[in-house]
Amino acid sequence: MTVRPLGPDDFLPAWESVDAWFAEAVHEPVHPVFFHHFGGYAVEDDDELIGLLVGFRSQANRDVAYIHIVAVHPDRRGEGIAADLYERFERQAKSWGCTTLEAVTDPANEAALGFHEGQGFWKELVPDWGGRGEDRYVLRKRIEPAL
């Protein structure tokens, strides 16, 4: 198993598979711009994408490092893959000088809520965050910047 920086070549494998890893369709978040101009990590095993994290430093608030997607192949859950990706991203965020990690999830996504709670995030329900009637939990964790 290898973990490496996410790049443009990961877009198609992610587009073809990540949708099925979520409880509901997420094609919109798997947009090519994230793979060309943002970043994160890809996890591969036997040349197959089995996990990814899309994350970047917020342009609007430089204190915040935002995780846009974390997803792991259903057959590979519970192995600590997502926790390892969060650890890597937190190190990166600290090196940027960020003080907060942020992610957003659907209130119905119990796996995401359980995972983030275990990672030390607290949650705030924000009405209409994802569109009219589309409430979301904004998840935040304080971190100590390395700078």
Ligand X SMILES: CC(C)(COP(=O)(O)OP(=O)(O)OC[C@H]1O[C@@H](n2cnc3c(N)ncnc32)[C@H](O)[C@@H]1OP(=O)(O)O)[C@@H](O)C(=O)NCCC(=O)NCCS
Binding site for ligand X (CB under 6 A): 21-22, 70-72, 77-83, 103, 105, 109, 111-112, 114-115, 118
Rounded to the nearest whole angstrom, what is the least distance from the CB of residue 146 to ligand X in the complex?
A: 23
Nearer to ligand X, 32 or 118 (CB): 118
Alpha-helical segments (H) within 38-146: 81-96, 110-118
Given a contact cutoff of 8 angstroms between Cβ atoms, the answer to whether 105 and 112 are in contact is yes
Rounded to the nearest whole angstrom, what is the least distance from the CB of residue 147 to ligand X in the complex?
A: 27
Rounded to the nearest whole angstrom, what is the least distance from the CB of residue 77 to ligand X in the complex?
A: 3
Please, which residues have CB within 8 angstroms of residue 108's CB and are 6 or more apart in sequence?
Answer: 23
Tokens representing 128 are: 């209409």
Tokens representing 117 are: 């709670």
Nearer to ligand X, 114 or 145 (CB): 114
Residue nearest to ligand X (CB): 114
3-class secondary structure per residue, 23-49: CCCCCCCCCHHHHHHHCEEEEEECCEE
Nearer to ligand X, 27 or 145 (CB): 27
Rounded to the nearest whole angstrom, what is the least distance from the CB of residue 71 to ligand X in the complex?
A: 4
Nearer to ligand X, 131 or 147 (CB): 131
